């Protein structure tokens, strides 16, 4: 299954958008069709997760925090939901596959409208679409690192591209 922190971020983002809309109209500058697609897929993700986890206290806390207007779940809540998702995915491969499919669809919908696909979490963020990361002066800037990272010349002596 995709990283559970991404799923937690999408769940929180969906709940936060829903809570904010309860008292206000959606931003008129956002493409309504894309906005509705992201909301619809977020709703499906919510139902899939809630259907598997039920009234898990961590999931309830995640939604409580979104209703409080927090910009991201607390680290403890995010960790608890991620652990519950990991456990459910390990026990039920069909659940893991359905969550993967929904996250892919959410990313595709978010790619259609820059800015909609950005979900912040305590340990980082999930971004649907292209991201440019820049670092200078010997520093390192990265998203998810899968593989090795070299500064300057690679260990085999070849220069970095």
Residue 126's nearest CA partner among 141, 106, 152 is 106
CA pair distance 23, 25, nearest whole angstrom: 7
Given a contact cutoff of 8 angstroms between Cβ atoms, the answer to whether 5 and 82 are in contact is yes
The vertex-60 CA angle with 59 and 64, nearest 5°, equals 120
Q: Is the pLDDT of residue 13 over 90?
A: no
Distances (CA, A) of 156 to 145, 148, 150: 20, 13, 11
pTM of the model: 0.60
Tokens read off for 71 = 């910009």
Q: Is the pLDDT of residue 31 over 50?
A: no
Domain map (residue ranges) of the chain:
4-127
Per residue in 48-77, pLDDT (tens digit) is: 999 999 989 999 999 999 888 887 889 999
């Amino acid at each position: 299954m995709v990283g559970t922190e991404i799923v937690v971020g999408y769940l929180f983002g969906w709940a936060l958008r829903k809570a904010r809309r309860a008292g206000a109209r959606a931003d008129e500058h956002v493409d309504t069709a894309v906005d509705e697609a992201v909301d619809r897929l977020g709703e499906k993700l919510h139902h899939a997760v809630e259907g598997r986890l039920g009234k898990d206290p961590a999931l309830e806390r995640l939604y409580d925090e979104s209703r409080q207007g927090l910009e991201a779940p607390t680290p403890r809540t995010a960790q608890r939901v991620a652990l519950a998702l990991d456990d459910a995915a390990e026990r039920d491969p069909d659940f893991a596959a359905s969550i993967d499919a929904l996250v892919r669809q959410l990313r595709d919908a978010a790619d259609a409208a820059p800015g909609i696909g950005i979900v912040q979490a305590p340990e980082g963020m999930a971004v649907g679409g292209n991201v440019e990361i820049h670092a200078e002066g010997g520093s390192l800037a990265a998203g998810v690192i899968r593989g090795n990272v070299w500064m300057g010349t690679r260990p085999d002596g070849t220069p970095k591209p």
